[in-house]
Amino acid sequence: MLSRAASSLYWLGRYVERADFVARLVEATVRLDALSARPAGEAAWDSALAVTYASDAFKATGMPINQANVARFLTIDRDQKASIVRCLESARNNARAVRTALTREAWTAINRAWLVFHNRAGPGGTMATLGLVEAIKAETRGFEGAVFRMMRNEATWFIRLGAAVERADNTARLVDVKYHLLLPEGEPVGGVVDRDQWTTILQTVSAVTAYRWLYSEGLKPGLVIDLLLARPELPRSLAACVEETVEMLGLLGKRTGLQGEADRMARARSARLQRTRSHEVIVSGLHQYLQAFIRENALLDAAIKRQFRFL
Amino acid sequence: MGTLGAFDELWGHGEPGNPRDALAALATWVADTPADELHRRRQSAETAFRQLGITFAVYGDAEAAERIIPFDIVPRIFLADEWARLSQGLIQRVEAINAFLDDIYGDRRIVEEGVLPPDLIFGNPQFRPEVAGIKPSHDIWAHICGIDLVRTGPDDFFVLEDNARTPSGVSYMLENREAMIRLCPELFRAFRVAAVDSYPDRLLETMRSVVPHRCGSDPVCVVLTPGHFNSAYYEHSFLADSMGVELVEPADLVVDDDVVWMQTIAGRVKVDVIYRRIDDDFLDPLVFRPDSLLGVPGLIAAYRAGNVTVMNAPGNGIADDKAIYSYMPEIVRFYSGGEAKLPNVETWRCREPQALKYVLEHLDEVVVKLVDGSGGYGMLVGPTASKAEIETFRAALIAHPERYIAQPTLALSTVPTMVEAGLAPRHVDFRPFLLTGSNGVQVVPGGLTRVALREGSLVVNSSQGGGTKDSFVLLPDDAARQVQMLGAMVQQQELPS
């Protein structure tokens, strides 16, 4: 496979995953905003910006933080790197560059997702925003489904590798930001607002029901963190993403004979995560832990580029 | 429906409702299918094209950076005997083009024997002295040709243009057929239509047949594209995909010691045959344009060394140059020893004083074209041009007569086409595709029919808002009978339940 193609496939995986994540984040924030009678609504949108590393860019627009502005910013604003439409545009450009490596179905799915957003003037009100988000989730699911029906070869694995690396990053950022920024001052831990916020986190990663299945206790921050860090059953947990990274690198190595630094890093991280006890992480500093994880993820990304000679 | 006064592919020169022989079924279909049904099917095809991204980019048009080419549902049909005659003429022409290229970059007999004026070749910007003396493998230069034809009567086909560089449109030929099979299956029961979908296989076969002599038995073939912002990128990816070969960009290739390699995740892989969809100018900055950031440095050296086949061969532009075009009858005669079976459209070479005089006196009647223009740009259509446009061209012609040719405005044939008001005749042209490999020249039984969507317009270029139609080539009766027999032999088997 061409090095350039491998790189495009990997980034296609990353950008589709990112678009899906931002869509979920907007959806969950709309919910949190609706539930909050207090200024927590504004804080919710503030933290959504923080999760997507877009706080400064938003501040630069000079607009006040509210649902209409932030939702527009994160969905259809073509000038913003973090917006869904820009993620989809990047995904589509990468997909176009490697059309020959994709099936017709996979390409059509990504092209359709882009068409949903392309030239969209405004997200409209809450209903329209939710409709848009729902449409994008459906299209990215369609893309994932198409990827699973592609030949089991390097093309598929590079897309899934990109998705897994991106997903690990997204979950880590989500937990980090929500855990530290969300709770307004004076609001008791375990209170209504706190509870809503943890539900929001679970919603963002589609894990509300999963939580009920895995934990007999009611909603507890410690257990939500345990779920998102250490439970391999949950597809968006750090443990699951890390495991998938190892698996994809293994498949690629077997087919191409290319194994090296990226595999070693991924395996070492996986082994460490298996030993991780989430309550210990919370005690010793969740923020530091997640920051280290995000840094490590970036290092792994760089190692993947070197290992597969991305152009 | 014959209001434009031209020959109609369905109705001939006769009244609408009275179709040409053998096309009665199409006339019935056109009459019996309600207009809104035809509209619906056409829209459905266009929606599918958009979702599949069958688009082309319009340069300098940021608003509509990607457009689909309008698709028309009423097919244009070639009868089997028409096609047989056409094919002979096309094959003769492509063989002559190939012999011509081999000659002028080699012995130059045609110039030495005084058939062509030397300055027409050696002073031509499309002549590439850089490739003179190179012998491409199997002496084949023009591997893929698209010959643009127009028709003015039952037996009157004329060549409008030879495309021997990087002709495009073959993906539309294939996608239009897919759409028609899905949307109008009844037409394929009424007619025995030659299949076009073997094109990618034939192209790959052609590529494999022209591998460099010193290369192994399993050559690595690739399609070379400028990248996904190119207007024909869809076609490039489509072809690579349907042949199962890599689609490479210049940056994917490196030349080392006169060998071309592509850079893969597992290191370098040697490349043997390149179907390039990049113009000469941007192929190799060491040889052609040094300012080009595109291109593969050293590619021409590797080609010259016989380590890689480049198709179409660099330097081909001279063969489809519009100034050379007017000499094609002489060129065909010189190399084949016979008269051209497919005539040219009458052409005035403005470089010749007599011709220039005539053209200047008849600017409101003729079509004037830039010798090196394409895509409908740099063109004057006399009968529909404004006074100011005509005067601009007059000045340009007087200043640089050698840059122009002129042709009469022909009454291009029409085909019934869906427009807002219903079915109406619209002018068409036709681009069939020919492949030349070490085993000879073959014509794909089909091609791209382009249609001028505006009433009375003769400009069919997609960059000028033209549309496309499927082109049916009917099988001869014998072949049709065989197809029927084959159908009868296939046993129906019930599904397990």
Residue B340 lies in a domain: no
Residues of B within 8 A of A108 (CB-CB) are 51-53
Residue B404 lies in a domain: yes
User: Mapping DSSP to helix (H, G, I), strand (E, B) and coil, where does residue A114 land?
Assistant: helix
Query: What is the pTM assigned to this prediction?
Result: 0.86
Residue B396 lies in a domain: yes
Among A88, A93, A99, A307, pick the best mutation site for testing chain B contact (most B Cβ within 10 A): A99
Residues of A within 8 A of B228 (CB-CB) are 93, 96-97, 99
Residue B65 lies in a domain: no
Q: In the predicted model, is pLDDT for residue B409 greater than 70? A: yes
CA distance B63 to chain A (A): 10
Residue A260, phi then psi, degrees to nearest 5: 175, -140
Residue A168, phi then psi, degrees to nearest 5: -60, -45
Confidence of residue B97 (pLDDT cuts 50, 70, 90): very high
Q: 233-252 in B: which are within 8 Å (CB) of A?
A: 233, 237-238, 240-241, 246-249, 251-252
Contact (CB<8Å) B228/A93: yes
Q: Which helix (H) or strand (E) holds B110?
A: helix B109-112
Q: What is the pLDDT of residues B411-464, one digit of tens each?
A: 899 999 998 888 999 999 999 999 999 989 999 999 999 999 888 887 777 666
Q: In the predicted model, is pLDDT for residue B63 greater than 70? A: no
Q: What is the pLDDT of residues B252-266, one digit of tens each?
A: 999 999 999 999 998
Residue B101 lies in a domain: no
CATH number at residue B385: 3.30.1490.270
- Flag whether residue A96 sits within 8 Å of chain B, measured between CB atoms: yes
Residue B356 lies in a domain: yes
Q: Measure the CA–CA gap between A232 and B47, rounded to whole angstroms.
A: 42
CA distance A301 to chain B (A): 15
Q: Domain tally for chain B?
A: 1
- Flag whether residue B258 sits within 8 Å of chain A, measured between CB atoms: no
Q: What is the pLDDT of residues B67-95, one digit of tens each?
A: 788 999 999 999 999 999 999 999 999 99
Contact (CB<8Å) A100/B240: yes
Contact (CB<8Å) B266/A257: yes
Give the nearest chain A residue to B241 (CA atoms). A100
- Flag whether residue B50 sits within 8 Å of chain A, measured between CB atoms: yes
Residues of B within 8 A of A107 (CB-CB) are 52-53
Q: What range does the domain containing B400 cover?
A: 347-409
- According to the model, what pLDDT value does residue B90 have? 97
Q: Measure the CA–CA gap between B97 and A146, rounded to whole angstroms.
A: 45
Q: Measure the CA–CA gap between A192 and A201, rounded to whole angstroms.
A: 14
Contact (CB<8Å) B252/A4: yes
pLDDT, average across residues B99-110: 96
Give the nearest chain A residue to B247 (CA atoms). A100
- According to the model, what pLDDT value does residue B74 have? 95
Query: Which of B52, B227, B241 lies at the smallest CB-CB distance from A100?
Result: B241
Angstrom distances, CA of residue B45 to CA of B40, B132, B197: 9, 46, 18
Interface A–B counts its CB contacts (< 8 A) at: 64
Residue A14 and residue A166 in contact, taking contact as beta carbons nearer than 8 Å: yes
Q: What is the DSSP secondary-structure string of B129-163? A: GGGTT---GGG---SEEEEEEEEEETTEEEEEEEE
Residue B432 and residue B444 in contact, taking contact as beta carbons nearer than 8 Å: yes
Q: Tens-of-pLDDT digits for all 311 residues of chain A?
A: 999 999 999 999 999 999 999 999 999 888 878 876 555 578 888 888 988 999 999 999 999 998 889 999 999 898 899 899 999 999 999 999 998 899 989 999 999 888 888 777 766 788 888 988 999 999 999 999 999 999 999 999 999 999 999 999 999 998 887 776 555 556 656 666 667 778 888 888 888 889 998 998 888 888 999 999 999 999 999 999 999 999 999 999 999 989 999 999 999 999 999 998 998 998 888 889 999 999 999 999 999 999 999 97
Confidence of residue B1 (pLDDT cuts 50, 70, 90): very low
Residue B402 lies in a domain: yes
Contact (CB<8Å) B252/A107: no
Residue B471 lies in a domain: no
CA distance B293 to chain A (A): 16
Contact (CB<8Å) B265/A309: yes
Q: Measure the CA–CA gap between A135 and B477, rounded to whole angstroms.
A: 52
Give the nearest chain B residue to A307 (CA atoms). B265
Contact (CB<8Å) A2/B240: no
Q: Measure the CA–CA gap between B383 and B389, rounded to whole angstroms.
A: 11
- Flag whether residue B263 sits within 8 Å of chain A, measured between CB atoms: yes
- According to the model, what pLDDT value does residue B482 have? 56
